[in-house]
Structure 1
């Protein structure tokens, strides 16, 4: 690969995962026995020209210690990994990572000019699916153009509302691309751009290419990346798809709620996984497939329980792995008694099937102290350790 002799990586992983709605920031959630951030770091550790990987951790002392603990078990060479604390915003965290890298290189090199033109890759800690080919392409493009970023076609049309939330403008999505990660820069260019950055852009911006263009006077080269892998773990439902991708997603079926817009979005996001709604599940299409059910029991399973039970019965003796994930929420606590009774009965029916290998349960459900919830907890705890994911 004809890149610079060395390149470096800054991985932004200082977020608290507000949209993920979890006590534990999403970068620490485990997939295949490893934290998401570990999978991401490992991808860059495999690239031979990567010399330093700066991981920007959350500011809190507790989460900083957790990051150190997680990355101590990393298979990537430990001398490559540098952990530093982030700031109050994404851009401030990235800037902190760049400054930490600058300090490291100042000690390693004789002169300032030696490292100014080396390549630094900026990436997100919760994007573990980037492949080596895209990393190498972005390095080559950044070496030539001083800034480069991966993109993919827009899935949805972008709408601009007015102050009353009435449609004002609709953009032609064929003219636009979605900005993705990783992005790469001459280190001197992006570092100096951040040094000039306004407080407004530090607080409100998210786009590194914009910072480089606005304050570094460079125009980035845009490269189309692998659409199947250019996505970010953002919501709870992304964990199931992440498991599928990291296990290899041939013959995978993701069963989603009966929501056409959601299905279209997930289908385009997760590329290689077959997607259908619960009403479309047919035992004929399930042979030799690994199934991920990502459903709400009240809205999706109860109205279709007979159909689901028949499908599960047809696969009861199937030797292939079927991972079934249920998002069990707090709705039973607020619906009528008859619906609640059906809810718990359905839970117990589903837990009887051997094909159930993982259950996703909201923690506060098991802390309510109600008899029916404790009954479910007893049933759940009969599953082998590691088969229950709490959030």
Structure 2
């Protein structure tokens, strides 16, 4: 099965206060590191980057070892994902959707997700919850603990059969649903996603402290 990569990179970085995807990370912009991680995966034959033309020209323009296509995003993340999916070819039976703000993802972990999606139709990178979890009231007072067994933090990439994910997003759009990731888009269809444990930290750059942590991890 051919696998396309879709990188979602059209956000405005409001919480960061500056363009986090352009922030230098060990000499390269965050977005370029995310792109290079997907390009390093043997199973991925082409990458579609969902972002504005100026961001693409500033951060990603140049020669790449595989085809890289840019498409415009939408108002919300789910609109941008759908725009990227619309550019996937019929021969690309699998699609790996990745957040442009996760520059440290391991190519081997991406391959593991692709292998799981080939078998199960749906797979996501993530990590099991190891911290103690507490529920509080509106004032921050602890009401009790939560059982962390079988709980996961979801990450990206999230890999699916292309036809399944396209149908999921069509239903999301038709029903006016709001979803924050592809696993959530699949749930109304009753399709379970196989979780794959990340083998190394794969943080999402959201606030300045995340960028500092990413520098430390690379160092």
1:164-203 deviations in whole A, cap 9, x for unaligned?
665556422234111111110000000111001155533x
Question: Which residue of the partner structure matches residue 339 of structure 1?
Answer: none
Task: Show the counterpart of 1:99.
Answer: 86
| Secondary structure at 2:87 match in 1 | helix
Superposition CA RMSD, Å: 2.2
Q: How far, CA to CA, are the matches of 1:201 and 1:46 in structure 2?
A: 34
How far apart are the structure 1 equivalents of 2:98 and 2:55? 20
Could you tell me which of 7, 13, 16 is aligned with 1:20?
16
Correspondence 1:151-300 to 2 at 5 A:
151-161=126-136, 167=142, 170-198=145-173, 200-202=176-178, 205-215=179-189, 217-226=190-199, 228-246=200-218, 249=219
TM-score (norm 1): 0.52
For 1:191 and 1:15, the matched residues in 2 are separated by 21
Contact 1:41 1:76 in 2 (8 A): no
How many residue pairs get aligned? The number is 218
Alignment-derived partner of residue 39 in structure 2: 45
Distance apart, 1:67 and its partner CA = 1.8
User: Partners in 1 of 2:111 and 2:150 — Cα distance?
Assistant: 26
Question: 1:51 Cα shift?
Answer: 1.6
1:127-152 Cα shifts (integer Å, max 9, x gaps): 11111211111111000100001121
Q: Does the residue aligned with 1:18 lie in a helix, a strand or coil?
A: coil
**Contact 2:49–2:69 (Cα < 8 Å) also in 1:** yes
Deviation for aligned residue 1:96: 1.2
> Runs of 4+ in structure 1 displaced over 6 angstroms?
none
Structure 2, unaligned runs of 5 or more: none
Contact 1:46 1:76 in 2 (8 A): no
Q: Which has the larger radius of gyration?
A: 1
Task: Determine the C-alpha separation between the residues in 1 that align with 2:69 and 2:21.
Answer: 17
Distance change (3 Å), C-alpha of 1:224 and 1:34: same
- Counting helix residues as a fraction of each chain, which structure ranks higher? 1
Question: Which residue is 1:138 aligned to?
Answer: 113
Higher relative contact order (CA 8 A, sep 6+): 2
Query: Which deviates further from its counterpart, 35-44 or 232-241?
Result: 232-241
* Contact kept in structure 2, 1:68 and 1:83, CA below 8 Å: no
Q: Which residue of 2 aligns with 1:127?
A: 102
